[in-house]
Amino acid sequence: MMGQAASRSSCVAPEAPRLSRVPATVGIMAIRFPWILLVLLGMTLLACEAGDDDDSANAGTQLDDDDDDTAGDDDTAGDDDDTAGDDDDTADDDDTADDDDTADDDDSGHERPPEPPPDPELPECPAGMIGVAGGSYELGEDDADWLIPSPSNSWRSEYPGLDLLGLTTMPLVTVQIPGFCMDRFPFPGLEGEAWPADGLNFDTVALLDQQLSSYGRRACTISELLLAAAGPENWRFPYDPAERLPGLCEEDDFNPGPIGRLASCVSPLGFRDFLVRSTWARLDPALASALGPFGMPIFPPWEGATFAGSQSYAVYGGTSREGTFYSHSNFGLHSHTDSVELFLDDGFRVCAAPGLPDPAVEVAWQEFRDEFLLVGSYQYWLGLE
């Protein structure tokens, strides 16, 4: 009975012994000494429990073996991790490969050209002025159709045989222009102020240019005005590359609104109110040499329309009117003889060399300009009347 109990996986109480199957002596002893039967049953139960403990131990051993197998699987995972690490190292190697000089080659296998240098820094300028970087620029009219006089040009009938538009439109030329500073607005250079009540002639512009030198300023050159109005892209009009557009600038050059009234009248470089009135300026030698073979600039037709390139000053640009004898675009140019006649549509704009002026000089300039604001006339301001 004890052996049967030990072989079971769980303990089951043994069947009570049948008296008919045991010897009579045992039965008699059980009857006389019942405690013996209890001892036998207890020993049977102990043997059963011991057998269950052995089974549990065997089961535990099996579980430990399974855990070891699992640990072995973990080692395999570790191998996988090592492989992944190797892959990462390979990826790092790929990154290193990307860093070589091959990355600078284009799809055709040729080495890429170097990046262009940054734009030159704009010069520092006095208050109210815009700095323009120097350089080599192609500026002027490149369309022959714009050299044909328009139907509104009444001067063609008055002076037959004269190609006035062709002689007053600067053709495309290459000019070298140093950096410079220029007033954002026409003289007196202040937004909201009235335009001058009179114009300038050859004599007064020379006198004004001389007086400006005492304040670190000067008359602009024709090339500077051309670049300021047309921009590096060589626009035909300040506000549009090709076409004259109505309503963007003052349309009455004799009675215009306050300076800067129309924000739409602006050039690519930010200068305001070009082509409302023309501008007296220095005729810089480089541009004069380029225009000389074309017979430019010229005097007005009533002055013979002769070559005026020997003069030190000329008049740049057109006006808000189309009926002038000279071109009304950014590429217009003409001149006047040294006469007493003042033309209201020939204005002025102030320029300066790059750099900040001495504070005392700047205060003196503002006081000098304020004197003009009181009288509003070049003639009175310069003491000519």
Tell me what pLDDT residue 120 has.
56
Q: Between residues 43 and 368, which one has the greater pLDDT?
A: 368
Find the mean pLDDT for residues 136-148.
88
Find the mean pLDDT for residues 80-90.
43
Looking at residue 241, what DSSP letter applies? S
Q: State the pLDDT confidence band at 154, using cuts at 50, 70 and 90.
A: low
Q: Which ranges of the chain would DSSP assign to H, the alpha helix?
A: 2-6, 24-32, 34-98, 155-158, 164-167, 202-212, 222-230, 285-291, 359-375, 378-381
Furthest C-alpha separation in the chain: 168
**Residue 263 CB neighbours (<10 A):** 9
Tell me what pLDDT residue 338 has.
79
Name residue, tokens 């020379």. Answer: 206
The CA distance from 101 to 239, in Å, is 46
- Please tell me whether residue 10 adopts helix, strand or coil conformation: coil
Tens-digit pLDDT profile for residues 93-134: 444 434 444 444 444 344 544 444 444 578 899 999 999 999
Tell me what pLDDT residue 340 has.
73
The CA distance from 16 to 13, in Å, is 9
Number of residues written out for the chain: 385
List the beta bridge partners of residue 171: 141
Tell me what pLDDT residue 25 has.
45
Contact 265, 291 (CB under 8 A): no
Tens-digit pLDDT profile for residues 311-366: 999 999 999 988 788 999 999 999 998 777 899 999 999 999 999 999 999 999 99
Tell me what pLDDT residue 280 has.
98
Q: State the pLDDT confidence band at 144, using cuts at 50, 70 and 90.
A: confident
Tens-digit pLDDT profile for residues 28-40: 444 455 555 554 5
H-helix or E-strand spanning residue 177: strand 173-177
Residue 341 contacts by C-beta under 8 Å, 6 or more apart in sequence? 201
Tell me what pLDDT residue 153 has.
55
Check whether 76 has a pLDDT greater than 50. Answer: no
Tell me what pLDDT residue 112 has.
42
Tokens coding 133: 């970087």
Tens-digit pLDDT profile for residues 163-216: 788 889 999 999 999 999 999 999 999 999 999 999 999 989 999 999 999 999
Tens-digit pLDDT profile for residues 227-284: 999 999 999 999 999 999 999 999 999 999 999 999 999 999 999 999 999 999 999 9
Give the residue among 366, 132, 100, 107 at the shortest CA–CA distance from 227: 132
Tokens coding 279: 């501008």
Distances (CA, A) of 203 to 82, 102, 375: 92, 66, 20
- Please tell me whether residue 29 adopts helix, strand or coil conformation: helix
**Residue 270 CB neighbours (<10 A):** 11
